[in-house]
Amino acid sequence: MVQHFEEEVKRKIVALHVEGRTIKSLVDEYKVSKASISNWVKQYRSECQTNQDLKSEYDYLTENKKLKKQLQEMQKENDFLKKAAAFFAKEID
């Protein structure tokens, strides 16, 4: 049985992938084939080359992904520094 997905659903799945979700997690959640998602992503990237609005959206999504990763790294670093400060504060006492 062939499933047909609305363009809005396809775009949502592609956006989730561009933001960092794995294809496998999207396959499991949306019950769509890996090949379909790969094709949609490839088509979206191709459309971004000719459509300025889509390119801006793609750039926004990739920048968002990069910033989320950077935030996560900074949070880990901050947690480490808090633990180090607490450790050295104990040493001073």
Q: Kindly report, residue by residue over 40-91, the tens digit of the pLDDT.
A: 999 998 988 888 888 888 898 889 989 999 999 999 999 999 999 999 888 8
Place of tokens 């499991």: 28
Residues in CB range of 48: below 8 A, 6 or more apart: 54, 55, 57, 58
Q: Kindly report, residue by residue over 3-22, the tens digit of the pLDDT.
A: 788 989 999 999 999 888 99
pTM beyond 0.75, yes or no: no
| Cα–Cα distance measured from residue 10 to residue 22, given in angstroms and rounded to the nearest whole number | 15
